[in-house]
Structure 1
Amino acid sequence: MERSSELNFLQTELNAANAQNERLIEENAQLRRELQRLADEERSKSTLNAELKMKTLQLESERALLVDENAQLRQDLQRLTNDDKSKSIVNVETRLKAFQMENERDNLFEQLEKIKRKYNQLHAAFVAKVQRCKALEDVFNRQKTLNGLVIKSAIVQKDKEQNIKSAKRASPKENNATVANLQEHVAKLQNELDEARDIIDELEFELESIDILEMENQRLKDELAAYKKAKLKLRTTANLYPDERDDSGEFDAPPSYSELDDTERCPAPSSIASSPAESIAGDMDPETMERVALTDSLVQMAQAESNCLRRELLRSRLRRTVQATRPTSSDA
């Protein structure tokens, strides 16, 4: 009994040991599988670590390249920023300079328009003065005709005085007729003399007008010289602005003056040194240059006519003095 019980106990212990052994075998197999899994994981981790190291090295190299590129881009950005600032400053300065030059151009154009209007006014005034000179010349022509008539009358009077002296012994009736004729002729001569004196007084008054005209001519010359200086000043800045033609017709067309050939009676000087039309010919357009040349020729003609009028007036005064002294000599 004891032996069977002991065998049972041992059998039980053996079964328990077998069960424990099987459990341990299973645990060992499980541990081996776990170790295999861990080994596989370790190998995968090693492979992944190697890949990560390679990726890290690649990223480090790319990072170094990006750092260099970033530094280069920063330098380029700084350079572009500086260039943009300098260009902005230059742009602002250029705009200010452009505005200033536009203002100067507008001022120069205004001055040019004023000069044009002043020139037109002076040209119109001068043409009016020249026309007045022509009228004075007509008056002097009439005076010359009258002086010729007076001289002719004086010659006739002298002949009649000789006839009177030769006819002193004639009959009283003939003497009365001769006296009547002489009185009529004396009255006629007296009327002509009064008319001549009136014309001479008018000419003396016109002589003062001629002096004023000469002063006006001198003023016109000064105005032309000022116009020349202004044109030279405008010429210095002409290359800074576009060529703008003045088509507004600011300059008035000069009036027709068909009597310019009348200066043959009072010839002008053959040469005038440094005329304003020649000195500013390079600064004006053809139309303005032609107008200035006409004005210059009118100035020369007016001077020549003024000299002729003075000579004619002196001749008239001399003839008047001679005519005034003749009756006294005849009475004597």
Structure 2
Amino acid sequence: MGTALTVPATDNGHNVLLVGTPLDRKVIAEMHRRGGSHPKLDEPCSRLVTAIPVDDLGSEHLEGADIVIVGVSSPGIGWAVDLLNNLMVNRLPVAFVTKGLAVRGKGLATYAETLPPQLRQMYAFIGIGGPCIARELANRQPTASIYGCKDLQVAERFAALMRTDYYRLSITTDDTGVEACAALKNFFAIGVSAMQTRYPDKKRGGGQSKNPTAAAFTQATLEMARLCERLGGHPATAFGLAGLGDLHVTVGGGRNSRLGHGLGRNQTIMDLMSNELAGETVEGVDTARALAPMILGNAAIKMESDDYFPLTFAIMDSILEQKSFVLDFANLIVR
């Protein structure tokens, strides 16, 4: 995604420094061999992109930057914070495509709350959310995303740098909601995707029954809104690009979707993570583990679980209790 974001930026005439993490050394080397083409994307980067390994990054590179965009996975967020604290000498806005939840005290919080105190030279946190597949953005397919920042002027300045005819951007002050939904959609995509294999259309070869998936998708959005609110975001954010829009894309494919398909076929998470998904990071599983203290330790949510969070608990049982995935449609709230 970090590489894909260089496409709208350079289409607008901006120079971009693309920095690979220690895990990306082979990727950077291959990009140089392939004329600037990322191995997972179709087209070479613009000549306005300079790709370097992190070992070559110095504080002088950040001095003239307009903005820093962080695209590491959630396990690498601590590494990224340390790196920026060592190299950032000027106060800059920092935007994140990293998605996840973090422990704060005895509770749970989004990166919008936990990262600003950690990054000394970050004067504004921006969360990038919404339905965006990296390859499609890199191919300039019409894409709508949302930038969340408590300072709306900062969000708009960043959006102005990135907005193109094909990359359409919305802005919001609800950075917490954007970040909450970005993490939660991975979790809920597991349960929605399970419907696609649990209820095949037996009258059509390889077909899927659409009604069960649509019902679970609606339920996922409702529960996402409620959990978003509990994490400090605005529930309405779950009904826009950051929530249901991103959920739709995630159900359409990827590791969370593949895990859900396996659960829908009555496989266990242990079996799936030991075979088809061995060695892969499934973000929804990490989100489930992060949510566990808040969900399982909250008596009010427990009391309401049968009719208020049925999909949440069905997914949690499968991931944390190693149970078969069961969603009782009699418990769904139909609206």
Structure of larger gyration radius: 1
Q: Answer 1 or 2: which has greater helix percent.
A: 1
Name the TM tier (shorter chain). under 0.3
Question: Taking structure 1 as the reference length, what is the TM-score of the superposition?
Answer: 0.17
Q: Answer 1 or 2: which has greater strand percent.
A: 2
Question: Taking structure 2 as the reference length, what is the TM-score of the superposition?
Answer: 0.17
> Using CA pairs below 8 Å that are at least 6 residues apart, which structure has the higher relative contact order?
1
